């Protein structure tokens, strides 16, 4: 994904505060009553960690490689253990350099007949270039993407495992997008304009796995595993889905994860959720590690470097994100 400087507008902040707490007071009360009765499962961060390790063990999941194929099979087989409804969406997409990429979006549905639905998503491919590494020798080397890619998928696989035995009232789709991170490298001559990131979510938004697919909202995870991660309120999320964003952040605060979910506005990130909001018009937020003090733009320090590996992954952060998500969906 990439950062959009030109989008810094005050408007999103105005939207957030103008959609404040009172407009649904009756509904809120019902939900508060449910919070006392709903039992939320316990997110297992060891399990999520193991799912991340497993993906990284294939090697960089770069489109067109054996590791990419093997990981797609692994993700499909794993999700099929948790639900009968798994869709593998195969497609081709043109990359920034003219190459044709073969992609696979992998979608697992729970309670598929329920029209009341939400989706949770992350990208599973990893970046072919460590183009932000401080050592230029690595700029053409693919990355492990333990945090950038595998962490969000690890959290979602653990949630899928939980849903296989215990489901909330709402129907849930878990969507693993391919071809998110094949955008032009930092030092490429071919950067130019064009939507070269999020190719998998762009495809899905135009060709949903079920024609006429609808969900009331979506939540994207990206880089949710680093130690002491901070999730700022990302710009497009705040613009398109301020109520949802507040709900998720408030939930995180209520259950004890306020150190990760900061009520502070971050930049505008062209991540998978932007295409879903733009094309499919389903309000979708991005829980993404943004750090104003980062040495690497506004992203976490190891973003698109050779050191985005298992050393960066913290079970504590996985727990904060996974438990927050489980609480949101079970209280929905």
Closer to Zn ion at the Cβ: 111 or 294? Answer: 294
Closer to Zn ion at the Cβ: 202 or 323? Answer: 202
Residue from 260, 264, 245 nearest 321 by CA: 260
Closer to Zn ion at the Cβ: 272 or 331? Answer: 272
Closer to Zn ion at the Cβ: 197 or 217? Answer: 197
Closer to Zn ion at the Cβ: 86 or 156? Answer: 156
91: number of Cβ within 10 Å: 18
Closer to Zn ion at the Cβ: 60 or 168? Answer: 60
What's the closest the beta carbon of residue 148 comes to Zn ion, in angstroms?
4
The Cα 238–Cα 219 span in angstroms is: 12
Question: Who's near 100: CB < 8 A, 6+ residues apart?
Answer: 92, 93, 94
The Cα 124–Cα 36 span in angstroms is: 35
What's the closest the beta carbon of residue 199 comes to Zn ion, in angstroms?
13
What's the closest the beta carbon of residue 222 comes to Zn ion, in angstroms?
8
| Side-chain half-sphere CA neighbours of 201 within 13 A | 35
What's the closest the beta carbon of residue 48 comes to Zn ion, in angstroms?
19
Closer to Zn ion at the Cβ: 148 or 173? Answer: 148
Residue from 46, 39, 57, 14 nearest 316 by CA: 46
The Cα 78–Cα 260 span in angstroms is: 29
What's the closest the beta carbon of residue 171 comes to Zn ion, in angstroms?
29
What's the closest the beta carbon of residue 295 comes to Zn ion, in angstroms?
16
**Residue located via tokens 């829980």:** 287
Number of H helices, E strands in the chain: 10, 10
The Cα 43–Cα 323 span in angstroms is: 5
Closer to Zn ion at the Cβ: 41 or 142? Answer: 142
Query: How does DSSP assign 283-305, residue by residue?
Result: -EEEEEB--TT-SBTTB-TTTTS
Provide the sign of the torsion angle of the four alpha carbons 321, 324, 330, 332, taken in this order: negative
Provide the sign of the torsion angle of the four alpha carbons 237, 191, 182, 199, taken in this order: positive
Closer to Zn ion at the Cβ: 131 or 181? Answer: 181
Radius of gyration (C-alpha) of the chain in whole angstroms = 19
What's the closest the beta carbon of residue 9 comes to Zn ion, in angstroms?
24
DSSP 29: H
What's the closest the beta carbon of residue 63 comes to Zn ion, in angstroms?
13
Q: What is the contact surface with Zn ion in residues (CB under 5 A)?
A: 127, 148, 181
What's the closest the beta carbon of residue 177 comes to Zn ion, in angstroms?
12
């Amino acid at each position: 994904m990439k950062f959009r400087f030109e989008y810094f507008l005050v408007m999103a902040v105005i939207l957030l505060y103008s959609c404040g707490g009172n407009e649904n007071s009756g509904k809120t009360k019902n939900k508060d009553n449910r919070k006392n009765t709903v039992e939320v499962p316990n997110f297992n961060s060891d399990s999520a960690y193991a799912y991340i390790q497993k993906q990284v063990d294939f090697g960089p999941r770069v489109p067109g490689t054996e590791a990419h194929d093997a990981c797609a099979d692994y993700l499909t087989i794993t999700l099929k253990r948790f639900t009968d409804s798994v869709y593998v969406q195969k497609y081709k997409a043109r990359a920034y350099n003219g190459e044709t990429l073969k992609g696979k979006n992998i979608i697992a549905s729970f309670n598929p007949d329920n029209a009341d639905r939400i989706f949770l998503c992350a990208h599973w491919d990893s970046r072919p270039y460590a183009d932000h590494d401080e050592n230029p020798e690595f700029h053409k080397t693919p990355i492990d993407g333990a945090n950038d890619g595998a962490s969000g998928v690890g959290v979602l696989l653990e949630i899928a495992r939980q849903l296989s035995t215990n489901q909330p009232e709402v129907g849930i789709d878990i969507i693993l997008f391919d071809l998110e991170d094949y955008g032009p490298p930092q030092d490429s001559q071919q950067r130019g304009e064009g939507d070269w990131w999020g190719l998998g979510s762009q495809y899905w938004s135009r060709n949903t796995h079920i024609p006429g697919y609808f969900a009331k909202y979506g939540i994207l995870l990206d880089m949710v595993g680093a130690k002491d991660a901070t999730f700022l309120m990302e710009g497009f999320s705040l613009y398109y889905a301020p109520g949802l964003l507040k709900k998720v952040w408030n939930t995180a605060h209520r259950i004890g994860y306020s150190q990760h979910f900061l009520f502070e506005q971050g930049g505008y990130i062209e991540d998978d959720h932007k295409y879903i909001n733009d094309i499919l018009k389903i309000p979708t937020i991005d829980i993404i590690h943004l750090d104003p003090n980062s040495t690497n733009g506004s992203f976490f320090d190891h973003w698109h470097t050779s050191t985005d590996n298992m050393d960066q992954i913290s079970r504590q952060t996985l727990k904060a994100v996974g438990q927050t998500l489980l609480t949101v969906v079970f209280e929905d």
